Structure 1
Amino acid sequence: MRQLAREGYVNGNRQGSSNEMVERLRAEASHFRYPERVPAFGRMMVADNGHLWVSGFNPAETIIGPKSERVSRVPVRWSVYAPDGAWVADIDVPARFVPHAVANGHLYGVSLDVDDTESVTVWPIVGAGGRRR
């Protein structure tokens, strides 16, 4: 995990950097202290229907810096559980999208575009066979 965290720091800051700068970033990261273990999950939200949404741990969210560096650059899987604890579904949300609420059959959040401009985004929640939930 520690090596992954170090590489995450380097990759998150290397855009447009020379090889010399990348090596400097690696040297900086080698001095950072990283935990041996990480949490089993990252974020939780409760939908208006009582379902619990749980995401996996995303090390990017722990980075100090601009929001664009803390947002996942790959899709993030959220597991959804019914009020009785039964698993309902796994839902992959797009990269660079941060969910904030689940209500009225929609997922509400903020997306970052290629220029890191934030936009409010609303996604309909669609079940198996294309049925809206």
Structure 2
Amino acid sequence: MVFAEERPKLNRLELTQDGELWVGPFIPSEFAMLGRAGLGTPAEPSTWSVLGANGKWLADITLPARFRMLEAGRDYVLGVSRDEDDVESIVMLRLLR
């Protein structure tokens, strides 16, 4: 099987209700844990770039390992966290601005 020599730099785009754009990194399958729905959860911390509604960079946010973001808001990030036994839990992380 032939694979591309380069991989994409980003994988996901999430738009918040405030109009911010969260740009998520590409996580190769060998660095992700697949869940029941076939969605990959990063095995390592992942860094997302946040752009304002005007397109200007606001911040880079590093999310914990074993955490898959579902939604972001002004002061929170909602996602699924997997523990050492691969049990999934819904987790809300607080954002300080």
What TM-score range do you get, normalising by the shorter chain? 0.7 to 0.9
Map of 1:80 onto structure 2: 50
Map of 1:40 onto structure 2: 9
Of 24, 30, 35, the match for 1:67: 35
Unmatched 5+ stretches in structure 1: 1-31, 128-133
* Amino-acid identity (%): 33
Secondary structure at 2:29 match in 1: helix
Question: Given residue 101 of structure 1, which amino acid in structure 2 is its aligned partner?
Answer: E
Query: How does the TM-score come out when normalised to structure 1?
Result: 0.63
Q: Number of residues paired by the alignment? A: 95
Map of 1:16 onto structure 2: none
Whose RCO is larger (CA < 8 A, sep 6+)?
A: 2
CA distance in 2 between counterparts of 1:120 and 1:87 reads: 28
Q: Which protein has the bigger strand share?
A: 2
CA distance in 2 between counterparts of 1:108 and 1:61 reads: 24
The answer (yes or no) to whether the contact 1:61–1:70 under 8 Å persists in 2 is no
- Say if 1:95 and 1:61 are closer, same or farther in 2 by CA, change over 3 A: same
Cα displacement (A) at 1:66: 3.6
Query: How does the TM-score come out when normalised to structure 2?
Result: 0.85
Q: Which protein has the bigger helix share?
A: 1
Map of 1:100 onto structure 2: 70
Stretch moving more, 68-77 or 108-117: 68-77
Larger radius of gyration: 1
- Say if 1:62 and 1:94 are closer, same or farther in 2 by CA, change over 3 A: closer
Cα displacement (A) at 1:62: 9.2
Question: Given residue 80 of structure 2, which amino acid in structure 1 is its aligned partner?
Answer: V
The answer (yes or no) to whether the contact 1:61–1:71 under 8 Å persists in 2 is no
- Say if 1:66 and 1:40 are closer, same or farther in 2 by CA, change over 3 A: closer
Return structure 1 stretches of 4+ with deviation > 6 angstroms.
none
- Say if 1:61 and 1:44 are closer, same or farther in 2 by CA, change over 3 A: farther
